[in-house]
Amino acid sequence: MVQEKSFCTNCGAALDKGTKFCGSCGQKLSESAASSVATPAPAASTSQGVSAEQLVGIIPAVSRKKGFISVEAFNIVVTERRMIFAIMTTEMIKEEAKKAGKKGGLAGIFNAVTAGYSLYKRYLDMPPEAALKENPQNFFVDLNRIKKVKVKEGRNMTQGIGIPRYEDSHLEIETAGEKYKFTVPHNFIGTAREVVSKAGL
Protein backbone atom coordinates (compact mmCIF):
# COMPACT_ATOMS: atom_id res chain seq x y z
CA MET A 1 0.00 0.00 0.00
CA VAL A 2 1.32 3.46 -0.92
CA GLN A 3 0.33 6.99 -0.04
CA GLU A 4 1.04 10.26 -1.83
CA LYS A 5 3.51 12.63 -0.20
CA SER A 6 3.80 16.15 -1.56
CA PHE A 7 6.70 18.55 -1.30
CA CYS A 8 7.04 22.21 -2.26
CA THR A 9 9.24 22.45 -5.36
CA ASN A 10 10.24 25.97 -4.36
CA CYS A 11 11.79 25.15 -0.96
CA GLY A 12 11.50 21.34 -0.52
CA ALA A 13 9.29 21.40 2.58
CA ALA A 14 6.79 18.59 3.12
CA LEU A 15 3.18 19.66 2.48
CA ASP A 16 -0.01 18.78 4.31
CA LYS A 17 -2.70 17.18 2.16
CA GLY A 18 -5.03 19.71 0.52
CA THR A 19 -2.98 22.78 1.42
CA LYS A 20 -2.99 25.68 -1.06
CA PHE A 21 0.12 27.48 0.16
CA CYS A 22 3.50 26.21 1.40
CA GLY A 23 3.68 26.79 5.15
CA SER A 24 7.45 27.32 4.92
CA CYS A 25 8.01 29.72 2.01
CA GLY A 26 4.43 30.87 1.19
CA GLN A 27 4.55 29.57 -2.40
CA LYS A 28 1.06 29.25 -3.91
CA LEU A 29 0.65 25.62 -4.84
CA SER A 30 -0.52 24.18 -8.11
CA GLU A 31 0.36 21.13 -10.16
CA SER A 32 3.61 22.86 -11.09
CA ALA A 33 4.37 24.10 -7.58
CA ALA A 34 4.17 20.81 -5.72
CA SER A 35 5.86 17.50 -6.34
CA SER A 36 4.13 14.34 -5.19
CA VAL A 37 6.05 11.28 -4.19
CA ALA A 38 4.42 7.88 -3.76
CA THR A 39 5.91 6.32 -0.63
CA PRO A 40 5.04 3.18 1.29
CA ALA A 41 2.53 3.69 4.10
CA PRO A 42 4.22 3.88 7.51
CA ALA A 43 2.74 0.58 8.58
CA ALA A 44 4.09 -1.26 5.56
CA SER A 45 7.14 -3.45 6.05
CA THR A 46 9.46 -5.59 3.99
CA SER A 47 9.48 -9.36 4.05
CA GLN A 48 12.34 -9.17 6.56
CA GLY A 49 10.14 -7.16 8.91
CA VAL A 50 12.08 -3.88 8.46
CA SER A 51 9.95 -0.79 7.94
CA ALA A 52 10.42 1.09 4.67
CA GLU A 53 12.39 4.32 5.07
CA GLN A 54 10.17 7.40 4.88
CA LEU A 55 11.26 10.84 3.65
CA VAL A 56 10.64 13.66 6.13
CA GLY A 57 11.99 16.53 4.03
CA ILE A 58 15.05 18.11 2.44
CA ILE A 59 17.22 20.96 3.71
CA PRO A 60 18.64 22.46 0.51
CA ALA A 61 21.99 23.97 -0.41
CA VAL A 62 23.80 24.06 2.94
CA SER A 63 27.57 24.54 2.96
CA ARG A 64 30.56 24.14 5.25
CA LYS A 65 34.23 25.02 5.19
CA LYS A 66 36.70 22.41 3.99
CA GLY A 67 40.25 23.34 4.90
CA PHE A 68 41.30 26.99 4.83
CA ILE A 69 39.75 28.22 1.58
CA SER A 70 37.52 25.47 0.18
CA VAL A 71 33.79 25.09 0.72
CA GLU A 72 31.64 22.03 0.12
CA ALA A 73 27.87 22.14 -0.34
CA PHE A 74 25.22 19.53 0.44
CA ASN A 75 21.54 18.85 0.24
CA ILE A 76 20.47 17.14 3.47
CA VAL A 77 17.92 14.39 2.84
CA VAL A 78 16.14 13.74 6.15
CA THR A 79 14.24 10.51 6.74
CA GLU A 80 12.64 9.15 9.88
CA ARG A 81 15.87 7.20 10.48
CA ARG A 82 18.77 9.36 9.40
CA MET A 83 20.20 12.49 7.79
CA ILE A 84 21.83 11.83 4.43
CA PHE A 85 24.33 14.47 3.33
CA ALA A 86 24.33 14.48 -0.48
CA ILE A 87 27.21 16.54 -1.82
CA MET A 88 26.67 19.04 -4.64
CA THR A 89 29.57 18.75 -7.05
CA THR A 90 30.57 21.36 -9.62
CA GLU A 91 29.63 18.89 -12.35
CA MET A 92 26.12 18.43 -10.92
CA ILE A 93 25.56 22.20 -10.74
CA LYS A 94 26.84 22.70 -14.30
CA GLU A 95 24.53 19.97 -15.59
CA GLU A 96 21.57 21.47 -13.75
CA ALA A 97 22.41 24.92 -15.14
CA LYS A 98 22.66 23.48 -18.64
CA LYS A 99 19.18 21.95 -18.32
CA ALA A 100 17.72 25.14 -16.87
CA GLY A 101 19.30 27.30 -19.58
CA LYS A 102 17.54 25.33 -22.31
CA LYS A 103 14.22 26.88 -21.24
CA GLY A 104 15.32 30.12 -22.90
CA GLY A 105 14.51 33.75 -22.16
CA LEU A 106 15.05 35.53 -18.88
CA ALA A 107 13.51 32.64 -16.95
CA GLY A 108 16.09 30.27 -18.41
CA ILE A 109 18.96 32.61 -17.51
CA PHE A 110 17.66 33.02 -13.94
CA ASN A 111 17.19 29.27 -13.50
CA ALA A 112 20.70 28.60 -14.81
CA VAL A 113 22.24 31.13 -12.40
CA THR A 114 20.36 29.65 -9.42
CA ALA A 115 20.83 26.00 -10.46
CA GLY A 116 22.60 25.11 -7.22
CA TYR A 117 19.50 26.06 -5.24
CA SER A 118 17.23 23.71 -7.21
CA LEU A 119 19.39 20.57 -7.18
CA TYR A 120 17.57 19.29 -4.09
CA LYS A 121 14.50 18.51 -6.23
CA ARG A 122 16.25 15.43 -7.64
CA TYR A 123 15.90 13.80 -4.18
CA LEU A 124 12.13 14.27 -3.90
CA ASP A 125 11.50 11.05 -5.81
CA MET A 126 14.84 9.29 -5.25
CA PRO A 127 14.98 6.47 -2.67
CA PRO A 128 17.13 7.52 0.31
CA GLU A 129 19.59 4.68 -0.21
CA ALA A 130 20.08 5.73 -3.84
CA ALA A 131 20.74 9.30 -2.67
CA LEU A 132 23.41 8.00 -0.31
CA LYS A 133 25.11 5.93 -3.02
CA GLU A 134 24.95 8.71 -5.63
CA ASN A 135 28.45 9.92 -4.72
CA PRO A 136 31.26 8.29 -2.67
CA GLN A 137 31.56 11.51 -0.65
CA ASN A 138 27.97 11.26 0.60
CA PHE A 139 27.50 10.17 4.19
CA PHE A 140 24.76 9.80 6.77
CA VAL A 141 24.15 10.27 10.48
CA ASP A 142 21.54 8.16 12.27
CA LEU A 143 18.98 10.30 14.08
CA ASN A 144 19.36 8.24 17.24
CA ARG A 145 23.02 9.36 17.43
CA ILE A 146 22.12 13.05 17.36
CA LYS A 147 22.22 14.75 20.76
CA LYS A 148 21.38 18.31 19.72
CA VAL A 149 20.34 20.28 16.64
CA LYS A 150 20.39 24.07 16.53
CA VAL A 151 18.94 26.24 13.75
CA LYS A 152 20.08 29.85 14.01
CA GLU A 153 18.68 32.55 11.72
CA GLY A 154 21.03 35.36 10.71
CA ARG A 155 20.14 38.89 11.80
CA ASN A 156 18.82 41.42 9.27
CA MET A 157 21.64 43.95 9.01
CA THR A 158 19.77 46.57 6.94
CA GLN A 159 17.26 47.53 9.66
CA GLY A 160 14.50 48.04 7.11
CA ILE A 161 16.53 50.30 4.82
CA GLY A 162 17.13 49.14 1.23
CA ILE A 163 17.40 45.52 0.10
CA PRO A 164 17.59 43.21 3.15
CA ARG A 165 21.01 41.73 3.89
CA TYR A 166 21.33 39.02 6.49
CA GLU A 167 24.10 37.57 8.56
CA ASP A 168 24.79 33.91 7.82
CA SER A 169 22.19 31.47 9.12
CA HIS A 170 23.48 28.22 10.57
CA LEU A 171 22.52 24.61 11.18
CA GLU A 172 24.53 22.87 13.90
CA ILE A 173 24.30 19.13 14.50
CA GLU A 174 25.97 17.48 17.48
CA THR A 175 26.39 13.72 17.96
CA ALA A 176 28.13 11.85 20.75
CA GLY A 177 31.46 12.15 18.95
CA GLU A 178 31.21 14.86 16.30
CA LYS A 179 29.89 18.33 15.53
CA TYR A 180 28.75 19.51 12.12
CA LYS A 181 28.20 23.18 11.32
CA PHE A 182 26.61 24.33 8.08
CA THR A 183 25.71 27.70 6.61
CA VAL A 184 22.08 27.77 5.41
CA PRO A 185 20.84 30.18 2.69
CA HIS A 186 18.47 32.66 4.33
CA ASN A 187 15.57 31.70 2.02
CA PHE A 188 15.84 28.09 3.25
CA ILE A 189 16.11 28.73 6.99
CA GLY A 190 12.36 28.22 7.46
CA THR A 191 12.59 24.91 5.62
CA ALA A 192 15.48 23.83 7.85
CA ARG A 193 13.44 24.59 10.99
CA GLU A 194 10.39 22.74 9.70
CA VAL A 195 12.27 19.63 8.59
CA VAL A 196 14.22 19.44 11.87
CA SER A 197 10.96 19.75 13.81
CA LYS A 198 9.18 17.08 11.75
CA ALA A 199 12.10 14.72 12.29
CA GLY A 200 11.59 15.10 16.06
CA LEU A 201 14.93 16.82 16.60
Written as tens digits, the pLDDT of the chain (201 aa) is 444 456 666 666 666 677 766 666 666 666 444 444 444 444 444 445 445 789 999 999 898 888 778 888 899 999 999 999 999 888 887 777 676 555 544 444 444 445 566 788 888 888 999 999 999 999 999 999 999 999 998 887 776 666 777 788 899 999 988 999 999 988 889 999 999 999 998
CATH number at residue 158: 2.30.29.30
Cα distance from N-terminal residue to C-terminal residue, the chain: 28
In a domain, 159, yes or no: yes
- Which range marks the domain in which residue 25 is found? 2-42+55-198
In a domain, 47, yes or no: no
pTM equals 0.67
Total structural domains in the chain?
1
In a domain, 49, yes or no: no
> 33 near 10, Cβ under 8 Å?
yes
3-state DSSP assignment of residue 108: helix
- Residue 171 burial by Cβ neighbours in a 10 Å radius (0-12, 13-18, 19+): buried
In a domain, 156, yes or no: yes
In a domain, 189, yes or no: yes
In a domain, 162, yes or no: yes
